[in-house]
Amino acid sequence: MHNWTKMPAAAVLVIALFLGIPYASFAQSTRYDLLLKGGHVIDPANHIDEVRDVGVLQGKIAAVEKNIPADQARKVVDVSSLYVTPGLIDIHYHVGNGGAPLNWFAPDARAHALPLGIPADLALQSGVTTIVDAGTSGAETFLQEKEEVIDRARVRVLAFLNIVANGMSGGLEQSLDQMDVKLCVDTIKKYPDLIVGVKTAHYWTGGPWDGEHVPWAAVDRAIECGILTNSPVMFDFWPRPERTYEDLILTKMRPGDIHTHVFAQQFPIILPDGKINPALAQARARGVIFDVGHGAGSFWFRNAVPAQKQGFIPDSISTDLHMGDYLTVSMNNVMSKFLAMGVPLEDVVRRSTINPAKEIHRPDLGTLSIGQDADIAVLELTQGHFSYSDCGVAKMDANIRLLARMTIRAGRISYDPSGLSMVEWEKARPQYFTIPDRGESLPARADDYPRD
């Protein structure tokens, strides 16, 4: 019987290989597959805000403790001077084709809008491990989104289902016969593990009202679907005299419903006297949830900065990433803007992890609780000179920036551009230096830890 417990892990590995013991057997003798050592852990769900080590075993969180011995892990990553948080959750993202026809660029296409969706796995570059598609698809187009994106993405993808059966960008968002409540309900009930709620957006922002297009049609039908499925509704809304902002958040929206794009230009967040609209506090007291949904046209410093100074911060931070803004907006970029406005890091992490998890009724996410999927973000907070832009082409200078250094999804290292988890190439194992003679040969890799 070999006694490995009192020997350094590296020595154990050398001896095990010399004795011909398979590496998998050696791995079984350790307590953790991966150990993140020395990082400042911020896990609001478990009230942790201090230096701790995080152990991962078989894709699950196995330990969040102080001073875990390095020899108890198959792979150890030094994350000292960095922050370790639960994998971030972006509840306003766009993937898939939605309602946009495949020939959207052709003169005879029903609609000519570019499909909104961007690759889901781009989110991993910001430490995001869960995204929620915000109504790109509806009941008629959800299966396509599921098969093309959800079933194949490395990042976890959930969805709000558009009340418009065709979804976004299909030229049918103003058609009331597309807002089929029964079809919406049936689809949500068919995919309860994937669809977290209902979305309404872009309805009749400026055209004259007529017998079919009445002010609250899309809102009312989305709420009806939400009631019948016991799920939240996310509102993308443009106020008009016949349907005011206050009516939406104080009368129409239910507790748990989500107002996204809260700092967009069209909302009276800041009144002419410079004070925050008291309707926001009244709505929050009713249980209405406020989400950022930054996007290409929904974030103005003139709303966000005065609101934050007066104590109003949205409940969740999200990007509204789509084809129109993915070059300028990311989850880290939006989080950095709130840090620049003076929101503490712990609060920013809370609004990017456990808060959105609660909003979509997924308490298993946004936490480093033992036994949950090892979805982890390793973040670096840097000081310097930075500038951030808003959707009104104004900027704000700041001295702080947050960047993801590594993303772990279900225990797999999915993003590590600076090699935080990697060995110096000169010190790599012999396999790294071999030239494979066949396509099925072992890859020339420095380690075998699962990566994407």
CA distance 164 to 174: 8
Whether residue 108 contacts residue 44, with contact meaning beta carbons closer than 8 Å, is answered with no
CB environment 117-131: b (16+ within 10 A), e (fewer) = bbebbbbbbbbbbbb
Give the pTM. Answer: 0.93
Nearest Cα to Cα of residue 180 among 168, 169, 166, 170: 166
CA distance 97 to 116: 7
Q: Which two tokens stand for residue 408?
A: 């772990």
CA distance 374 to 155: 12
Residues sharing a CB contact under 8 Å with residue 154, sequence separation 6 or more, in sequence order: 120, 121, 124, 409, 412, 414, 452
Question: Domains, the chain, ranges and CATH?
Answer: 9-85+407-433 (2.30.40.10), 88-403 (3.20.20.140)
Nearest Cα to Cα of residue 137 among 164, 113, 118: 164
Q: What is the pLDDT of residue 51?
A: 98
Work out the burial of residue 241: count CB atoms within 10 Å of its CB; fewer than 13 is exposed, 13-18 middle, 19 or more buried: exposed
- What are 65's strand-pairing partners? 53
Nearest Cα to Cα of residue 37 among 56, 24, 23: 56
| pLDDT, one tens digit for every residue, the chain (452 residues) | 344 433 444 344 444 444 444 444 444 568 999 999 999 999 999 999 999 999 999 999 999 999 999 999 999 999 999 999 999 999 999 999 999 998 999 999 999 988 999 999 999 999 999 999 999 999 999 999 999 999 999 999 999 999 999 999 999 999 999 999 999 999 999 999 999 999 999 999 999 999 889 999 999 999 999 999 999 999 999 999 999 999 999 999 999 999 999 999 999 999 999 999 999 999 999 999 999 999 999 999 999 999 999 999 999 999 999 999 998 999 999 999 999 999 999 999 999 999 999 999 999 999 999 999 999 999 999 999 999 999 999 999 999 999 999 999 999 999 999 999 999 999 999 999 999 887 777 889 999 999 98
CA distance 23 to 439: 23
Helices (H), ranges, 153-257: 181-190, 217-229, 245-247
Provide the terminal-to-terminal Cα distance of the chain, rounded to the nearest Å.
36
Residues sharing a CB contact under 8 Å with residue 225, sequence separation 6 or more, in sequence order: 161, 163, 181, 184, 185, 188, 198, 231, 233
Tokens 């807002």: give the residue: 179
CA distance 309 to 402: 21
Whether residue 292 contacts residue 264, with contact meaning beta carbons closer than 8 Å, is answered with no
Q: Calculate the alpha carbon distances from 167 to 118, 144, 205, 296, 340 in Å.
A: 15, 11, 17, 19, 35
Nearest Cα to Cα of residue 328 among 365, 376, 294: 294
CA distance 180 to 255: 23
Tokens 């990042």: give the residue: 155
Q: Which two tokens stand for residue 211?
A: 């017998």
pLDDT tens string 115-148: 999 999 999 999 999 999 999 999 999 999 999 9
Q: Which two tokens stand for residue 396?
A: 């704000």
Q: Which two tokens stand for residue 311?
A: 């104590």
Helix %, strand %, coil % for the chain, to 5? Answer: 25, 25, 50
Residues sharing a CB contact under 8 Å with residue 424, sequence separation 6 or more, in sequence order: none
Tokens 């570059």: give the residue: 125
Q: Which two tokens stand for residue 449?
A: 């830890």
DSSP state of 157: E
